[in-house]
Amino acid sequence: MSDKIVIGGVTVDTRHWIGGERVASGDTFTDHSPIDGSALGEISRGTPTEAAAAVAAAKAAFPGWAATPRAERARILHAVADGVEKRLEELAVVETTDNGALLRSHRRGVMPRVAHNFRFFADRLLTLGHEDFDTRGHTNHVSWDPAGPCVLITPWNAPLMLATWKVAPALAAGNTVVLKPAEWSPLTASLLADIAAEAGLPAGVLNVVQGYGSEIGDALTSHPDVRRISFTGSVPTARRIAASAAVNLTPLSLELGGKSPLLVFADADLDLAVELAVEQYDNAGQVCLAATRFLVEEPVAEEFTRRFVDKATALTQGDPRDEATDIGPNIHPRQLEKIDGFVRRALAAGARAVIGGHRLDGQFYAPTLLTGVAQDSEIVQEEVFGPVLTLQTFSDEEEAVRLANDTRFGLAATLVTGDRERADRVSARLVAGTVWVNCFFVRDLQAPFGGSRHSGVGREGGTWSFDFYCDLRNTVTAPKGWTDRG
C-alpha cells in the first residue's frame, strides 16, 4: 500500500510527521471526499504509541526552539507563510476535495488567511512586551516565557485555517506542537508539515498525528509532558478533553459550539439584513459563528421573509470546485444524517419549512428555513451545524434581547438596526464573544476571539494568544543591594 496519494495533481503523504520524519502506523483509515463520496486514500491511523512518540519529539525539541531568538523564530514563520503562498493553489484544491468547502473561497480568502496567521503572529512576537513599572522604587519587568509542548486538536470545517490559527501563535511563543487534525479532513495538515520543514522549522518543533480522537485523544491530552491544550469542536468532546487534562492541571483553550442570533429591527436596512442572513448558509452551514437563529421584529417579519426566500432560493448548490457554486456538500454521511434528524424532529413537533427541509442527492442538504419553532425546542437550542436556520419574531427590544440570550451558548451575535443608540444598548446586553453590528464575519487577528457559556473557555488572538501559550513572569528588582565590581 502506498504512503502517498495524489489529489488534483498534488502529492500528499498519508503518514504521520513525528520528529522531522514520516512515520507509518500498522493500521489505516479511509479518507473520503464529501463531493462524491469517493475514497481519497488510506491514512495512517494513530495509536497511543504514535501519540507518545510525537509528544516525546516535541519535548526533545522544546529547549532548542524556546532558546531560539525571537527574530529567528519570526523569520522562520514568515518562511512558512511564503511556502503557503507558493503552494496556495495546491492547498486550495486539496482542501476542497477533502472537506467540500468552496474552491473559490479557499483561493481568495481561506488560504491567504493561513499565510496571514503566520505573518501576524511572527510580527506580533517582535513587539510583544510590557513597559517596566515602578513599585516603591522597585522595577517590575513582565516576560512571556514559552510554556512547553502543546497539543492542538482541530476541526474539519476549516481545517488548515483553524489549525494555523493555533499553530502559528504556539510556535511564535517558542513552544513545540503536536497537531491532531480531524479524521474527516486530515490532508492539508500533512502538507503543512512539508511546508514547515522546507521553511527550516527544526525537527520535532511541529508534529502531526492523524487518527481518531477516541483512540489517541486521551494519550495526547493526559500526557504529563504536555503544557497546553487547545481544542476547537463540540461541547461533549471538550468535556472529555477537560477531564483528561485535569489529571495534570494542563491549561485549556476551548472554542466550542454556537447557536448565535441574528437580530433584525424594524428600522434596519432590510436589503442589508437579508444579505447578511443569506450569508449564514456559507460552507453549507458548517460555521461555528453562523447566526442560525433569526429574530425579526414583527412589523418587518413578513417582508424580511419574502426577500430572504427570494435570495436564498437563487443560490446555486453543487460541486464546490465550480466557480458558480454557492453551497457545497456537507462533510460526512454521519453529519448529514444528524442534520436531517434535527429537521425531521422539528417538523414533527410543528415547525414549518419555508424553504428546504429535506436531503438532496449525495451529501447535500437543501438550504432550510424553519418557522413556527418554540424557544425551548431542540432546533432552537442545539447546534445543527448544517444549512438549517430558524425564524422567530419579537415585539420589542426587551424581548429581542431575552430571546437572543436564551440558550446555553454565547459565541457570537449579529445585530441589524438603523439606530446607533439601540445598537449600543443591545450589543452591550448580548452574551457573546463577538458582536457584529450591521455586518458579519469581519475578523481581525488583533481582536480577542472566543465564546461565553458553553461556547468556550478563554480567548485567543493578538496578545491573548501569547498569554495562553506562555507562562507569564513578573521579575521585581530592588534599587539597591548590588556589589560594585568596577
pLDDT tens digits, 254-271: 999 999 999 999 999 999
Range of the structural domain that residue 390 is part of: 261-437
**Which CATH number fits the domain that encloses residue 126?**
3.40.605.10
Same domain, 422 and 457: no
pLDDT digits (tens, 9 = 90+) for 138-167: 999 999 999 999 999 999 999 999 999 999
pLDDT at 383 over 60: yes
Q: Do 277 and 310 fall within a single domain?
A: yes
Is residue 12 a part of any domain in this protein? yes
Half-sphere exposure of 266 (CA within 13 A, CB side): 10
Which of these, 369, 313, 377, 386, lies nearest to 345 by C-alpha position? 377
Flag whether 484 is in a domain.
no
pLDDT exceeds cutoff 70 at 1: no
- Higher confidence at residue 445 or residue 486? 445
Judgement on whether residues 310 and 237 belong to the same structural domain of the protein: no
Measured distance CA(268)–CA(311) in Å, rounded: 18
C-alpha cell at 252: 485549556
Task: Look at residue 486 and tell me whether its pLDDT is greater than 60.
Answer: no
40 with 31: CB under 8 angstroms? Answer: yes
- Do 189 and 302 have their domain in common? no
Q: Give me the mean pLDDT over the 398-410 stretch.
A: 98
Given this model, what pLDDT does residue 482 score? 81
Q: Are residues 408 and 461 in the same domain?
A: no
Q: Which tens digits make up the pLDDT trace of 57-84?
A: 999 999 999 999 999 999 999 999 999 9
Is residue 480 a part of any domain in this protein? no
| pLDDT band for position 310 (cuts 50, 70, 90) | very high
Is residue 382, in this structure, part of any structural domain at all? Answer: yes
Residues 6+ apart with CB under 8 A from 417: 263, 265, 267, 268, 423, 426, 437, 438
Percent of the chain with pLDDT over 90: 98
* Residue 484: pLDDT over 80: no
User: Distance between CA 450 and CA 348 in Å, rounded?
Assistant: 34
Give pLDDT tens digits for 174-206.
999 999 999 999 999 999 999 999 999 999 999
Residue 159 placed within a domain: yes
Count CB neighbours of 371 within 10 A: 16
Contacts with 124 (C-beta within 8 Å, 6 or more apart), sequence order: 172, 462, 463, 466
From CA 327, how far away is CA 282, in angstroms rounded? 7
Beta strands across the sheet bearing 470-477: 133-135, 138-146, 470-477
The Cα 258–Cα 263 span in angstroms is 15
The angle formed by the CA atoms of residues 368, 369 and 372, to the nearest 5 degrees, is 135
Tell whether 218 and 116 lie within a shared domain.
yes
CATH number, residue 349: 3.40.309.10
User: Looking at the structure, do residues 242 and 297 belong to the same domain, yes or no?
Assistant: no
Average pLDDT over residues 14-35: 97
249 with 131, same domain? Answer: yes
Axis crossing angle, helix 420-429 with helix 397-405, rounded to the nearest 10: 30
- pLDDT for 397 beyond 80: yes
325 and 400 within one domain? yes
Same-domain pairing of 102 and 28: yes
Q: Which residue has the cell 514568515?
A: 78
Confidence of residue 481 (pLDDT cuts 50, 70, 90): confident
What positions carry a catalytic annotation?
255, 288
Report which residue type is found at 418.
Answer: G
**How many domains are contained in the chain?**
2
Q: Give the Cα separation of 355 and 343 in Å (integer).
A: 12
Query: Is residue 276 a part of any domain in this protein?
Result: yes
The enclosing H or E element of 231 equals strand 228-232
Q: What is the pLDDT of residues 200-236, one digit of tens each?
A: 999 999 999 999 999 999 999 999 999 999 999 999 9
Average pLDDT, the chain: 96
Distance from C-alpha of 155 to C-alpha of 238, rounded to nearest angstrom: 12
Mean pLDDT of 332-354: 97
Report the share of the chain in percent with pLDDT over 70: 99
Residues 220, 320: one domain? Answer: no
Between CA 69 and CA 58 the distance in angstroms is 18
pLDDT, position 483: 81
* DSSP SS3 for 415: strand
> Residues near 314 by Cβ (< 8 Å), separated by ≥ 6?
none
**How many C-beta atoms surround the C-beta of residue 422 within 10 A?**
18
| Position 334 pLDDT exceeds 90 | yes
Q: Band of the pLDDT at 485, cuts 50, 70, 90? A: low
Model pLDDT, residue 3: 93
Q: What is the pTM of this model?
A: 0.96
